[in-house]
Structure 1
Amino acid sequence: MTTRVPFDLDRYLDGIGTRPCFICGCVADDPSFFHHRVYEDSETIIFLSRYPTLEGYCLVCPREHREDFSKDLSKAEYLRLQEMVYLLSRALKKTFNAERIYALSLGSQQANSHLHFHVAPLPSGVPLERQQYHALMAENGILQIDEPEMARLAERIRAALAAELKDQQRSSSDA
């Protein structure tokens, strides 16, 4: 069973502006920046959030350190990244029977500057007052999911995303 635990926002904010880029660290396989990977190719990496507020909460990132999608990505690179957000959203919807998928880009020049999109499935039946921003805010607590369960979640999402990619390839070759 997954439980929600308080999130120490002050501790998180204390180190976030001075530590190295966690996405670049994850891409480089630095163990101190380990995240459960869902997908990666030469351009994109997708992994589970280390501080999930919803089960299946993922981040979609360009592998290369880019900070601003309107300046640092070509239109083709941006569309490829959004295609991965879309395919992941479909996979999460199916995997978690989600009522809605939340997708947004966060970060700033002060912290977490590496461009990334948060993609999180909202389970069916969540009361309205616990949806939307409330569901995404770590200040309302994060899910305490042990490592074996995180690995299982990553594998479930990986399999669903692989099916979406296969369907997309099939559709492209039929066109």
Structure 2
Amino acid sequence: MTPFDATAYEERVRAGCFVCAFLTGEPGYEHELLYDDGDHVAFLSRYPTLPGYALVVPRRHVTDVIRDLSPSEYLGLQAVVHRVARALNAVVPTERTYVLSLGSMQGNSHIHWHVAPLPPGVPYSRQQYHALMHENGVLSQSTAEIAALGAAIRAALSDLE
């Protein structure tokens, strides 16, 4: 694990929408794209705490899951979350898959689902929120490792079609 600068991260996410910046190709906001159906995208977390940690988002800037999504839009997004989780489980050894939506109107306002595969054998005291907290550090991964993981997940996603 590599130490994580939470202060710099907070400044970054409060400065603008990281999801929209990624989707428009803004420099410094690159992520490894896993899935894109035109309405939703999935990509690897830039700051993963677990191997294969991914985010699933609607393409359009949506800030409230209840007010901004119709029931059918919500269910469509959840179908993508489920599909990405299945692909991650096919690629990354997983004891349990965490799926949760976090964010705030004050930062990270674009709704997004975290899909985080917990590896087998993690002690209970390091599971659940502990496993997701950046304050405990983030994984060190090379660009080549990220690209290889992304390719494996994309292949698993295509096998699910």
Could you say which TM-score interval applies, normalised by the shorter chain?
over 0.9
TM-superposed CA distance for 1:129, in Å, is 0.7
Question: Which has the higher mean CA deviation after the structures are superposed, 7-16 or 137-146?
Answer: 7-16
**Aligned pair count?**
161
Determine whether 1:60 maps to 2:56.
yes
For 2:125, the aligned partner's letter is: E
Which one has a bigger Cα radius of gyration? 1
User: Which residue pairs with 1:140 in the alignment?
Assistant: 136
How big is each residue's C-alpha offset from its partner over 1:33-88, in whole Å with a ceiling of 9 and x where there is no partner?
11110011210010000000001000000000001111101111100100011111
User: Which residue pairs with 2:89 in the alignment?
Assistant: 93
1-structure distance, mates of 2:13, 2:27: 17
Q: TM-score, normalised by structure 1?
A: 0.89
Q: Say which SS state the counterpart of residue 111 (structure 2) adopts.
A: coil
Moved >3 Å (runs of 4+): none
User: Which residue pairs with 1:172 in the alignment?
Assistant: none
Of Structure 1 and Structure 2, the greater helix share is in 1
Determine whether 1:131 maps to 2:127.
yes
2-structure distance, mates of 1:83, 1:16: 27
**Superposed counterparts of 1:141-160, under 5 Å:** 141-160=137-156
Unaligned runs of 5+ in 1: 167-175
2-structure distance, mates of 1:128, 1:58: 22
2-structure distance, mates of 1:157, 1:51: 17
User: Which residue pairs with 1:79 in the alignment?
Assistant: 75
Q: Say which SS state the counterpart of residue 41 (structure 2) adopts.
A: strand
* Identity across the alignment (%): 50
What is the root-mean-square deviation of aligned Cα atoms in Å? 0.9
